[in-house]
Structure 1
Amino acid sequence: MPELKELKPTYLIYGTERVLLDDAVARLKAQVAEQGDLDFNYDVFHADNSEAEAIVAASQTLPFMSERRLVVVRDVHLLPADAQRVIARYVADPSPLTCLVLVADKMTKGNVLYKAVQAGGGQIHEYEAPRKSRYPAWIRERLAERGKKVTSAAAMRIFEVIGDDVGRLRNEIDKICLYYDDRIELDTDEVDEVLSATTQATIFELTDSIGNRDRQKALRTLQKLLDRSEPLPAIYHTVLRHVRMVLAAKVLTERGIGQPSAIARELKLIEFVARKYRDQSRNFTIEQLRDLHRQLVQIDFDVKSGRGELLTALERFLLRMA
């Protein structure tokens, strides 16, 4: 994630991850607040109900008893082309006393605002979600920014439980930092205590129970998920995918491709996840895994053809699993 250090008169920040955009705006706001009183020098515009002339007028207004003004324009990519040209003309010669922040979900290098900010000496930052393989490192970096030192295993646990939803990950990081306010070093035991309060039963507990052939835990976890109103079709498809991946790891291992790194390359997975699939595949013969997969495919067929009910079929699958 790029850092916004030296304060510039104009910024263009864009990307599909709203959470990261909001974080960038918050950091800029904190920087400007160090140089000015934002109680009377802070304006926020939304492109869907704002005029370009009003945005420019606010940007040209002198700060009131302050060194700086902050003007934020949300969803600037939604502005009509003529309105964007009006703002681009201001960006070419901006007020040195105002920090104008243009926020967009999407932006091209050929856009008039992009060119204007670039030519006028402003800063442009694109914010995207990390690649799948980068999430654990990203989690560690975000926690390090908050003064927390977490192990790789702890970061992977957070990713495994919460998934790749950046907003949920940020919320979980906030909770961990609040829970361990006076503690710096954290391992899996510490994050598990916070995660368990967030999600008492996760789909990952269910799939791991299946992979470990723990029928009783699988049934208990399924019931907990249903008690939390988790969608049954989503549970089914996650279980199907998990069994399919364990089977794929088994097939690769029997072909002599048994190293987690090699399995990860073949299946396009994070190595930690590939290792888990490989380890769980050792609990089954290849025939057993193929049979489990056939059973799950048959459940889908029966439900769609009206010959079965998904919850009953899934419970029977778990009962027969061991």
Structure 2
Amino acid sequence: MPVFAGSHFRRLLDLARRDRLAPLYLFIGDPQETLEKAGRIVRIQEEKGALCERVDLEEVSPEDLRSLLVSPGLFGPRRLVMVRKAEILAQHKEQISPLLEPLGSGTVHLFLLASRFPEDHPLYTFALERGALVPLHLQKGRARFLAEMAERLSAEGYTMDRQVAEYFLSLVGEDYAHFRNELEKVLLYAGEKERIEKEDVEAVVTPAPETYSYLLGDTLLEEGAEAARGLLRRLLDQGDPPLVILAILENYFKRLWLLAYLFRGREDLLRETRFEVFQRTYAQALRETWPEKVPSLLERFPPYAAFRVKRHLFGLSPGFFPEVFKALYELDVSLKRDFMAPEKAFYRFFLRVQELGKKF
């Protein structure tokens, strides 16, 4: 079998549905992602009656793994063995031949899940020539998530605009497990719809903690103090400490002030409505404005998030931000020195920012 990367992984699923399995699958990449991808093949076969045994090489030895492969199946002719931490096998080249012998029977299939694996290893060669090699780390960051989304949406019969996909990614952050869970929620919510809209994403996605750093500020500037208080209650109810929320707001307005500085003299970038064009120009503007080092608050800020929040900068005068930071200082004092009830203190701050928005 060839290398199955990216969208080609779909072919492995189709083959599994037709009971055509490779003797050895070698998944290489993020542990969560390898487990999820291998699990999709395994679940197809389990629904057909196959028995799957799951082991971790930090808990069993290579000798025990071989015993597992040669032992007779109890519940049918087809047996699957899924092995996590398979990179440990790279240290045991002398014990590999006994592992490969049972794979020729056609009744046992080995799934190796590794974060990395040497290309000169016999297992890698076997997977490349006679099994299935599935590298999952060819793309990094958002490109990897976008490719995964495109594959899942196509497989499930859905479509989604690029801007909606970017919005979804800006909410879920960079943790693969959270990305996968939230994508499943969106697909389930969409039901029989063919096109997934922004409203579907907003209805069910739980933002990653770091994305609240702009959602709370966005809500305040766009929908006003009352809507911001609603989101604040949600944060407080789920146990977020008031001082953490304060830090979130401080970072939000620091970031917005930095963006105001970045867009100064770049009116065309500020008014750009096409995200693809904005993304390219924005990256260049960051490098030109801070050639030595981009401020950390902007360095990891998703481009689509910057594209969204820039709308708050239209018509704001330079005097807005100093006044906001005065209000943030008063909020800090209210919480730390005066021990004011958090909701009351934050709501007073929200009302002040709302007034400043009208003034400036």
What pairs up with 1:120-135 in 2 under 5 angstroms? 120=126, 121=129, 122-128=131-137, 130-132=140-142, 135=145
Distance 1:237 1:170 in 2: 28
Q: Within the alignment, does 1:319 sit opposite 2:329 as a pair?
A: no
Q: How many residues align?
A: 307
- Equivalent in the alignment of 2:306: 274
Residue 208 of structure 1 and its aligned partner are, at CA, apart by 0.7
- Equivalent in the alignment of 1:88: 96
What pairs up with 1:216-231 in 2 under 5 angstroms? 216-231=226-241
Residue 86 of structure 1 and its aligned partner are, at CA, apart by 5.6
Residue 233 of structure 1 and its aligned partner are, at CA, apart by 3.9
Q: Within the alignment, does 1:118 sit opposite 2:128 as a pair?
A: no
% identity of equivalent residues: 20
- Equivalent in the alignment of 1:107: 116
- Equivalent in the alignment of 1:47: 57
Residue 226 of structure 1 and its aligned partner are, at CA, apart by 0.9
The CA deviation string for residues 149-208 of structure 1, in whole angstroms up to 9 with x for no partner, is: 22234323433433333323323332333333322222223333444xx68xx8354221
Distance 1:137 1:14 in 2: 17
User: Secondary structure in 2 aligned to 1:247?
Assistant: helix
- Equivalent in the alignment of 1:190: 200
Q: Within the alignment, does 1:27 sit opposite 2:45 as a pair?
A: no
Question: Structure 2: where are the runs of 5+ without partners?
Answer: 16-20, 270-277, 287-297, 355-360
- Equivalent in the alignment of 2:179: 169
Distance 2:334 2:89 in 1: 48
- Equivalent in the alignment of 1:147: 157
Distance 1:59 1:145 in 2: 32
Judging changes above 3 Å, is the alpha-carbon distance between structure 1 residues 182 and 29 closer, same or farther for their aligned structure 2 residues? same
Question: Structure 1: where are the runs of 5+ without partners?
Answer: none
The CA deviation string for residues 247-299 of structure 1, in whole angstroms up to 9 with x for no partner, is: 12211221326413323441555443222222112252223124434654786
- Equivalent in the alignment of 1:263: 282
The aligned amino acid for 1:27 is R
CA contact (8 A) 1:264 1:274 kept: no
CA contact (8 A) 2:22 2:109 kept: yes
Point out which structure has higher relative CO (alpha carbons under 8 A, 6+ apart).
2
Q: Within the alignment, does 1:13 sit opposite 2:27 as a pair?
A: yes
CA contact (8 A) 1:56 1:87 kept: no
Between 67-76 and 242-251, the greater mean CA deviation after superposition: 67-76
Residue 95 of structure 1 and its aligned partner are, at CA, apart by 1.9
Distance 1:91 1:55 in 2: 8
Judging changes above 3 Å, is the alpha-carbon distance between structure 1 residues 134 and 54 closer, same or farther for their aligned structure 2 residues? closer
Judging changes above 3 Å, is the alpha-carbon distance between structure 1 residues 136 and 95 closer, same or farther for their aligned structure 2 residues? closer
Instruction: Indicate the RMSD between aligned Cα atoms, in angstroms.
Output: 3.7
The CA deviation string for residues 71-111 of structure 1, in whole angstroms up to 9 with x for no partner, is: 11222346794xx446523355552222111223x32427x
The aligned amino acid for 2:125 is A
- Equivalent in the alignment of 2:294: none
Q: TM-score, normalised by structure 2?
A: 0.69
